[in-house]
Amino acid sequence: PPAHSRSDWIGPPDRLSNLRPIIFYVPPEESALERRLREARQEAQASNQRFWARHNRAFRQEKEEFIYSRLKAKGLEIRDESGQKATLNAEEMADFYKDFLSKNFKKHLQYNRDWYKHNFRITFLMGQVALVRALRWLRRRKKNVEQ
Amino acid sequence: GLFVWHLRNTGIRQIPCRFVHLYHVANDRLITFQYFNFLKRMYVTQCNKDLSQQAKPKSESIVSPFRELQQLDQEKKIVHKISPVSPVHQPWSETSSRNELREMKSAAETEDSIIPVGAESKEDRQWKEMKLQLDDLPGILARLSKIKLTALVVSTASAGFAMAPVPFELTCFLLASLGTGLASCAANSINQFFEVPFDSNMNRTKNRPLVRGQISPLLAVCFAASCGIPGIALLTLGVNPLTGALGAFNIFLYTCCYTPLKRMSIANTWVGAVVGAIPPVMGWTAATGSLDAGALLLGGILYSWQFPHFNALSWGLREDYSRGGYCMMSVTHPGLCRRVALRHCLALIGLSAVAPALDITTWTFPVISLPINLYISYLGFRFYRDADRSSSRKLFFCSLWHLPMLLLVMFTCKKSVLEKEGKGDLPGGSCDRAVEIGLP
């Protein structure tokens, strides 16, 4: 993002986590409340990134392993004659999907709780910041009108 | 077809590429219905023309809140019925949402292997300033509120209103529709607010406004509140308290029960089916002011319909559900998934037969609707027995035309109000209060 910009910038989705990273703008006159908001957002972003990067990587890895083991069991090679990667059909993969989902169930429950907490906290702080800014603006206008 | 394609193409040439998704072009799946194929071809040629640089074609493995899919595809059908020739210039949001429709449709027919690289245009890869652009705001809010899904919800509510055995009141009808629409906008916005990181990880939903940072979560919540509160107030005060209560309850059910439950238990499907069943009930109560057996029957028909529709669709999205952590029957209890779909196809036959008994329709309704109900049940049985992609897709596509047709037949077989005049006071005064207050 350009140096003179006064707003946050959001980027393309991360390769691993599919989440879009945000670069936060730190205004020179940032209030304590605004700092808390920014830090909350940064923390949430980091936590989300960690979770999804790890999760997606695990998914891909385990999927590969599953395909490999199944192909082995069937006596096939990973790559067939044309060099294409051999894949299993949907019904065979279904076992893997079911397995993966139940294995990660607890992890997801924990993540859900964390995510909802982050989300509410951030939105609440945003509301507070917006309110403070609005009051400040109103007060300034009143002062201008009085002058 | 070519002519229409040309018209569409000229209309969207200026549209930035990011709104056009490529999908699996080399798709040789048999499309059951001619117009789906027709629309798909249009988009293939459209996409090819517009995208100058593209990654490999993305095979869409898309997760959708089933409701959304159901309604959107329904809408495509309805839209197609009304206007077979598309206008030359289409607002980009419409185009992109049609693309979404098409995406979703093709989602049901894609390979299970995900090609992770999406067809992102260059613009998509850039860093964007997170400042609210006011001219984009209508489009952003439309996508936030899932405006097309909302339109479908409103149309099912209208169906409920139309089927109620009372003289038609335009004021009441419009107020009820508007209130339902606002309530639906609110519910959808909150749903998106809750699901940002999950939406980011699913191909279909990754271009939502909150995921892309086009709007802040605070604004999304404010928008939801500014739709929901007037919407429910309108329903409660302008129509009747019962409809208002149902609307509020439905918002609660969708946002606080269905959305979190999606990630916790397969029970979400049943809850979601209730969410889908309530709008027609609301339409009915708006007209009559009371929860009659007729309202429940209409709700019941929509409730039962959700299962073959969603279960068939979810069959092809198991990978995305599994990775995203969504608890869906198709992943965890595949046998149950198919059983329930079949069970509810058969239930539709039963419910249609009950309609004349409740004086909603004449006896012709179960007779005329029997062929389509039998057909969907047959496909349901095939899905149950074969449990493969082709049977699931057939069932899904059937459900898309089955519901509009069923509702249409129901309406044409509706028992005339005049016939029942002799049965005493008609409960048509639910909106009288509103009229007295002097609302236009």
Alpha-carbon distances, residue A46 vs A53, A68, A98, A114, B266 (angstroms): 10, 33, 29, 12, 30
Residue B249 lies in a domain: yes
In chain B, residues with a C-beta closer than 8 Å to the C-beta of A91 are: 387-388
Shared domain for B152 and B195, answered yes or no, is yes
Interface with chain B: mutation pick from A5, A6, A8, A10, highest number of B CBs within 10 Å? A10
What integer pLDDT is reported at residue B121 of this predicted model? 60
Give the residue with greater pLDDT, B3 vs A124. Answer: A124
Structural domain spans, chain A = 9-146
What integer pLDDT is reported at residue B419 of this predicted model? 53
Residue B392 lies in a domain: yes
pLDDT in tens, B131-144: 888 888 899 999 99
Closest CA to B331 of B345, B315, B346, B342: B315
Q: Give me the amino acid identity at A49.
A: Q
Angle (CA) A83 A86 A87, round 5°: 150
pLDDT mean over B160-188: 93
Shared domain for B242 and B298, answered yes or no, is no
Lowest mean pLDDT among A89-103, A110-124, B39-53: B39-53
pLDDT in tens, B256-301: 999 999 999 999 999 999 999 999 999 999 999 888 899 999 999 9
Shared domain for B279 and B299, answered yes or no, is no
CATH of the domain at B277: 1.10.357.140
Phi-psi domain of B359 (left: phi exceeds 0; alpha: psi -120 through 50; beta: other) = left
**Number of other CB atoms surrounding residue B58 within 10 Å:** 22
Interface with chain A: mutation pick from B110, B124, B212, B218, highest number of A CBs within 10 Å? B218
Confidence of residue B431 (pLDDT cuts 50, 70, 90): low
Lowest mean pLDDT among A13-22, A109-118, B27-36, B212-221: B27-36
**Domain total of chain B:** 2
Rounded distance between C-alpha atoms, residue B43 and residue B45, angstroms: 5
What is the share, in percent, of chain A residues with pLDDT greater than 70?
93
Give the residue with greater pLDDT, A17 vs B51. Answer: A17
CATH of the domain at B317: 1.20.120
**Number of other CB atoms surrounding residue B419 within 10 Å:** 11
What pTM does this model have?
0.73
How far A146 CA lies from chain B's nearest CA (Å)? 31
Nearest CA in chain B to A128: B218
Q: Do B127 and A98 touch (CB under 8 A)?
A: no
Tell me the two tokens of residue B371: 């062929």
Q: Which helix (H) or strand (E) covers residue A22, if one does?
A: strand A22-23
Rounded distance between C-alpha atoms, residue B284 and residue B83, angstroms: 28
Query: What residues contact residue B154 under an 8 Å CB cut-off, 6+ apart?
Result: B177, B180, B181, B184, B279
Residue B370 lies in a domain: yes
Residue B349 has pLDDT above 50, yes or no: yes
In chain A, residues with a C-beta closer than 8 Å to the C-beta of B196 are: 119
Shared domain for B270 and B300, answered yes or no, is no
Shared domain for B227 and B329, answered yes or no, is no
Picking from B256, B288, B320, the residue at the C-terminal end of a domain is B288
Shared domain for B158 and B275, answered yes or no, is yes
Shared domain for B189 and B271, answered yes or no, is yes
Shared domain for B201 and B313, answered yes or no, is no
B327 touching chain A per CB within 8 A: yes
Nearest CA in chain A to B18: A12
Residue B91 lies in a domain: no
Shared domain for B334 and B301, answered yes or no, is yes
Q: Give me the amino acid identity at A46.
A: A
Q: Do B127 and A90 touch (CB under 8 A)?
A: no
Confidence of residue B359 (pLDDT cuts 50, 70, 90): confident
The whole domain housing B404 covers 292-416
Shared domain for B259 and B347, answered yes or no, is no
Rounded distance between C-alpha atoms, residue B9 and residue B89, angstroms: 9
Rounded distance between C-alpha atoms, residue B45 and residue B1, angstroms: 11
Mean pLDDT, rounded, of chain A: 87
Shared domain for B254 and B346, answered yes or no, is no
Nearest CA in chain A to B326: A101
What integer pLDDT is reported at residue B430 of this predicted model? 55
Shared domain for B263 and B345, answered yes or no, is no
pLDDT mean over B73-95: 41
pLDDT mean over B166-180: 93
Mean pLDDT, rounded, of chain B: 75
B387 touching chain A per CB within 8 A: yes
What integer pLDDT is reported at residue A147 of this predicted model? 76
Nearest CA in chain A to B335: A94
Residue B53 lies in a domain: no
Rounded distance between C-alpha atoms, residue B335 and residue B46, angstroms: 40
